[in-house]
């Protein structure tokens, strides 16, 4: 069973939702993952992808920028 307390588990579930184009669920899960592990830049990347898919360019750019900053 996947523990919801594990940020990587949340990421795995979010990626499944991403493939199913359930972007609202993706956003919720990646935001929860960031709370649990704010150092993982892949969570910001996932949020950027989800926001971009929803047409929310401002939020997408915010998380894309955070991804670039944290991966340097």
Q: Residue 1: pLDDT band by 50, 70, 90 thresholds?
A: low
Q: How far apart are CA 23 and CA 37, in angstroms?
A: 21
Q: Is residue 56 part of a domain?
A: yes
Q: Is residue 2 part of a domain?
A: no
Task: Tell me the per-residue pLDDT of 7-40, one tens digit each, with 9 for 90 and over.
Answer: 999 999 999 999 999 999 999 999 999 999 999 9
Q: Is residue 26 part of a domain?
A: yes
Q: Output the pLDDT for position 68.
A: 86
Say yes or no to pLDDT of 72 above 70.
Answer: no
Q: How many domains does the chain have?
A: 1
Q: Output the pLDDT for position 29.
A: 96
Q: Is residue 1 part of a domain?
A: no
CATH number at residue 19: 1.25.40.10
Range of the structural domain that residue 32 is part of = 7-70
Joined tokens for residue 17: 């939702």
Q: Is residue 54 part of a domain?
A: yes
Taking a C-beta distance cutoff of 8 angstroms, is the pair 63, 43 a contact? no
């Amino acid at each position: 069973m996947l523990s919801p307390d594990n940020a990587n588990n949340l990421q795995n579930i979010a990626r499944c939702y991403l493939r199913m184009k359930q972007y609202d669920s993706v956003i919720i899960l990646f935001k929860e993952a960031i709370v649990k592990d704010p150092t993982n830049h892949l969570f910001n990347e996932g949020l950027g992808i989800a926001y971009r898919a929803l047409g929310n360019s401002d939020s997408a750019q915010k998380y894309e920028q955070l991804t670039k900053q944290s991966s340097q």
